[in-house]
Amino acid sequence: MLTDNAQLLEVAIDAGDEPTARGIARFLIDVLQQPSGGFGAAQDSESWIDGARSEGGYYGRDAGSRADLDPPAVDGKVVTGWNGLAIGALARAGAGLDEPAWIEAARWAAEAVLGANVREDGVLVRASLDEIASTASASLADYGQLASGLVALALATGEVAYAERARDLVLACIDDEGAPRVPGGGDPVLAAQGIATPDAASDGDEPSGPSALADAVVSLWRLGGPGELRAVAERIVVANAAGALEQPLAYGAMLRVAAELAQPPRQLVVVAEERSAPLVAAARRLQRDVFAVVTPAQAAEWARAGFELFVEKSAQGGRATAYDCRDFACRLPVTDPAELAA
């Protein structure tokens, strides 16, 4: 349920279906989010109705009649990658629909995962339960999905620290030849037997390891750092091109990355002291690949951290200022919402 709803939220936002997006966000936050902040993996299909176990009966009731029923139990496992999908979806949806509570829910989940799902040596684990980490190592998909979610959270909050953490996760997954690898050698039990950690070769119910890593790489490249990341994403796409072209429905996430690499990104950065500025609202309505709202101080922090998209971005004359860029080449900055919309 977590993977399906997180990805469906992304689809709803892209389709402009605000009612569906709001319903999904409510479910993620009200039902699946755990006391620790992380998102549980799923909710049971069975529940007790009129003294008997019912398969799906709870979900068949309308909101009024469900109020008197005990809801189905939630599987409280906080899976690293699946939480990354939810963090990214809520962060992007919150930024697009101006819902700060959704962004804060994403931040809470990120802090929970980065707290409970990381070993002392910095290597991710697959999951945790009641803030107790599993002994199972994280997969490549876990690293990529979490990194992508952290990039989205960084853009939604303006806080570069999340992007820096995402960059660390991604770089740990790239070997000296620029090929994907699983940090820490993957599952220690399999490694002891000389068996590589398995990872889905195609995108089924969630992005595969290669697709998730490529998506995170492109997300970081679009922010301007580091420059060699684009080549890494291209190599991953090329390595999976034959399978994707032969079975496109099984490689949706990989083909999305390929499409993103095939055209220059539109990057929209608004530097403003207040997110309530009319220019921010105007920018929110535009189609873009990257959307960031940062204060002047935050823009400087992004630039110092090595993200070139934010270099020399400032509030002109102390007014909210928008920078509309194509592949890092920006138009003259504008402060008038009407001029930006035009």
Q: Identify the CATH number of the domain in which residue 89 sits.
A: 1.50.10.20
Q: What does the alpha-carbon distance between residue 257 and residue 18 come to, in Å, rounded to a whole number?
A: 25
Q: What does the alpha-carbon distance between residue 229 and residue 18 come to, in Å, rounded to a whole number?
A: 33
| Amino acid in the structure at residue 306 | G
If asked whether residues 125 and 180 sit together in one domain, one would say yes
Which run of H or of E encompasses 42? Answer: strand 42-43
Coil, helix or strand at residue 166: helix
Task: Report in angstroms the alpha-carbon separations of 26 from 84, 109, 222.
Answer: 17, 15, 30
If asked whether residues 158 and 270 sit together in one domain, one would say no
Contact by Cβ (8 Å): 71, 43: yes
Q: What does the alpha-carbon distance between residue 294 and residue 305 come to, in Å, rounded to a whole number?
A: 14
- Report, as ranges of residue numbers, the positions in the chain whose pLDDT lies below 50: none
Show which of 229, 246, 262 is a domain's final residue: 262
* Owning domain of residue 336: 266-341
Per DSSP, the residues of 175-194 read -TTS-B--GGGS-HHHHHTT
Whether residue 218 is contained in a domain is answered as: yes
If asked whether residues 140 and 250 sit together in one domain, one would say yes
If asked whether residues 129 and 159 sit together in one domain, one would say yes
Nearest partner of 221 among 212, 211, 233, 210, judged by Cα: 233
pLDDT score, position 66:
85
Q: What does the alpha-carbon distance between residue 287 and residue 168 come to, in Å, rounded to a whole number?
A: 29
Task: Report in angstroms the alpha-carbon separations of 192 from 136, 186, 195.
Answer: 14, 10, 7
Whether residue 48 is contained in a domain is answered as: no
The bridge status of strand 321-326 relative to strand 329-330 is antiparallel
pLDDT score, position 65:
81
If asked whether residues 307 and 233 sit together in one domain, one would say no
Report CA 122 to chain centroid distance, whole Å: 20
pLDDT score, position 202:
83
pLDDT score, position 195:
64
pLDDT tens profile 317-338: 999 999 999 999 999 999 999 9
Domain count of the chain? 2
pLDDT score, position 199:
58
Sign of CA dihedral 290, 295, 298, 304: positive
If asked whether residues 132 and 251 sit together in one domain, one would say yes
Contact by Cβ (8 Å): 69, 51: no
Q: What does the alpha-carbon distance between residue 235 and residue 139 come to, in Å, rounded to a whole number?
A: 20
pLDDT score, position 193:
72
Coil, helix or strand at residue 269: strand
Show which of 231, 262, 293 is a domain's final residue: 262
Show which of 220, 245, 262 is a domain's final residue: 262
pLDDT score, position 63:
79
Task: Report in angstroms the alpha-carbon separations of 237 from 203, 217, 340.
Answer: 13, 12, 34
Whether residue 65 is contained in a domain is answered as: no
Whether residue 80 is contained in a domain is answered as: yes
If asked whether residues 321 and 216 sit together in one domain, one would say no
pLDDT score, position 227:
80
pLDDT score, position 113:
98
Whether residue 105 is contained in a domain is answered as: yes
If asked whether residues 254 and 216 sit together in one domain, one would say yes
Nearest partner of 199 among 214, 217, 181, judged by Cα: 181
If asked whether residues 193 and 313 sit together in one domain, one would say no
